[in-house]
Amino acid sequence: MNITVAGVGYVGLAQAVLLAQHNTVTAVTTTPAKAENINRGVSPIADAEITDFLRTKPLALTATVDAGQAYRTADVVIIATPTDYDPERQIFNTATVEAVLSLVGRVNPGALVVIKSTVPVGYTERIVGRFGCRRLLFSPEFLREGRALYDNLHPSRIVVGRPHGGTATEADARLFAALLQQGAAEQDIPTLYPNATEAEAIKLFANTYLAVRVSYFNELDTYCELKGLDTRQVIDGVCLDPRIGAHYNNPSFGYGGYCLPKDTRQLVANFGDIPNRIISAAVTANDERKDHIARQILRKAAGGVVGVYRLTMKADSDNFRESSIRGVIERLRRAGASVVIYEPTLRAASFDGLPVIASLTEFKRMAAVIVANRAESALAGCHKSCKDIVDCAGTLLLHRLSGALCHTGACQQIKRITAEGRVSLQPQLLVNMRRKLLRHLVFAMYDKNALRLRVKHAHPFSQLVHVRVAADSRKVLDLRLHLDRLAKELHFLCPV
C-alpha cells in the first residue's frame, strides 16, 4: 500500500518508520535538509528507535518536499503537522492541517485521509468535505517525546474515529488500525472505534489527566519542601496504593513540552460554560509551580548568576519547545535575575536574549546557582566545590562555594560577634579561606568589584546574613547579623 505522511516531527516520522516496515511510505517535509537526512538514513530528531530503524532496517521509506506528487499517488494520507495553541483565539491553529487537506482534495480527493495532529474536540466532524476530503478519519497518537517509535511499536491502545457525515467506512477504520497493528511489536493491542469527536476527546482528556497528575505531585512536593518533610518518603507511601500506582509521580518544574500545555488549555476552552474545577486548576497549578520554583531559585542564588543547565525537558532529547524550564526562566528574568544558559544543541551565542555559554567549565565558573532538570554525569565535576541539593525529581541546585568559614583566624574573629554584635575583617582573610562544603549553610560569590557572602540557615524561617565588600579592598567588612539565630550555627561552621 502507498502511504504518504505529512510532517516529519515526532508523530509523523514515527508513523512513517513504523508503516515503512510493510508498506511503501513517502514522508513529506517543507525542509530539504530533513528530507536529505532521512533519505541517507539519518534521523533529524533525537529518538533512539527511529535512529536505529533508519540506519539498520530495510524500510521502504522516502522523504520529499514535493507534497503534490506524494499525495497524488497515495492510497492513505496521514496528517501529522503541528497545531500550536493560539492563546488569543483560545483554539488550536489548524492551518497546517487544512493546507494538507486542501492539496489532497485537489490532487487525490478519493484518498483515505487520517488526521493524527491534535485538534479541538468536534473539529474533524466540522471540516468533513470542506476541503474536498470526505473520506476522513481521526486517530490520536499517544507517545512520549524521544520514545515516539517505541510507543508506536508497543502501543497502550489504538483509537480510530470516524466523523458523522463523512464517507469513511468502518472497513476504512479497521484498515488503518490493521496497518498500525501490523507495524507494532505487540499482539492483541486494545483497539477502539469511537466516532471522531469521541476520539478527539479521548486525546485531550488523556493528556489533561497526565497534567493533573503532574500538578498533584508537584503540589505535594511544594508542601513537603516548605514543611521540612521528605518528599520521596511521602510519594512512596502514597503510591504503594495500587489504585494510585508508583508511576508518573516525579515532581518537576511543571509540566511542559509540546502537548500537555496546549492540550490542557484547549480542553479548558472546549468546556466553555460547562462547569469544571479540576481541568482549569491544572493550568493554574502549573503556573503556580513555576512561580514557586523561581522564588526558590532566587532565594538560593541570593543575587548571583543563575545558570540553566540544558533547556531540553527530557534526557536524550534535542527539543525544548515549550520546555517547562523556559517558564521558570521567564519568571527569573522578570525578577531581574542574571541568567546564563548551557545548551550544547545551540550554536548561537544567545537564546531569547540570554547568553549561551559554549564551555561547560566556563558555565560552572560563572554560575552561583546551577538549575538542572536532572542530575547528570556532566555536573559531577561540581561536587568538590559545590553543595548538591537534589529533590526527588532530580532537580539539581549547585551552590558554588568560592570560600568557606573554616580559616582558624576567621573563626576566632567571628566568635567575637557573640560579645560585640559587630565585627570587622580584612578582605584578604576571607580570600584565603580554604574551601569546604558546609551542608547548605554557606553561599559565597566573587565578582570583579565585590565579594558578597551570605550565610543561610537550614531552617526556612531563619535569618540571612549579609556581608558586603567595597570595591576598594583597603576597606574592611562590616558584618551585621542576628546572634540569636546564628549562635548554634557558628559552632558548626567554626568548630574549636
Which SS3 state, helix, strand or coil, does residue 299 take? helix
Among the listed residues 133, 259, 386, 392, the single catalytic one is 259
Q: Is 411 a catalytic residue?
A: no
Q: In the numeric block, which cell numbers belong to residue 192?
A: 477502539
* Angle at 463 (CA atoms; ends 460, 464), nearest 5 degrees: 100
Sign of CA dihedral 49, 55, 56, 58: positive
Q: What is the CA radius of gyration of the chain?
A: 28
Helices (H) and strands (E) in the chain, counts: 18, 21
Helices (H), 9-47: 10-19, 32-39
What whole-number distance in Å separates Cα of residue 337 and Cα of residue 351? 16
Q: Which of 291, 11, 305 minimizes the C-alpha distance to 19?
A: 11
What whole-number distance in Å separates Cα of residue 401 and Cα of residue 381? 13
Which SS3 state, helix, strand or coil, does residue 82 take? coil
Distances (CA, A) of 484 to 105, 466, 477, 490: 78, 16, 21, 11
Which SS3 state, helix, strand or coil, does residue 162 take? strand
Bridge partners, residue 137, by sequence: 114
Bridge partners, residue 478, by sequence: 468
User: What are φ and ψ of residue 137, in 5° steps?
Assistant: -130, 155
Q: Among all residues, which ones are annotated catalytic?
A: 259
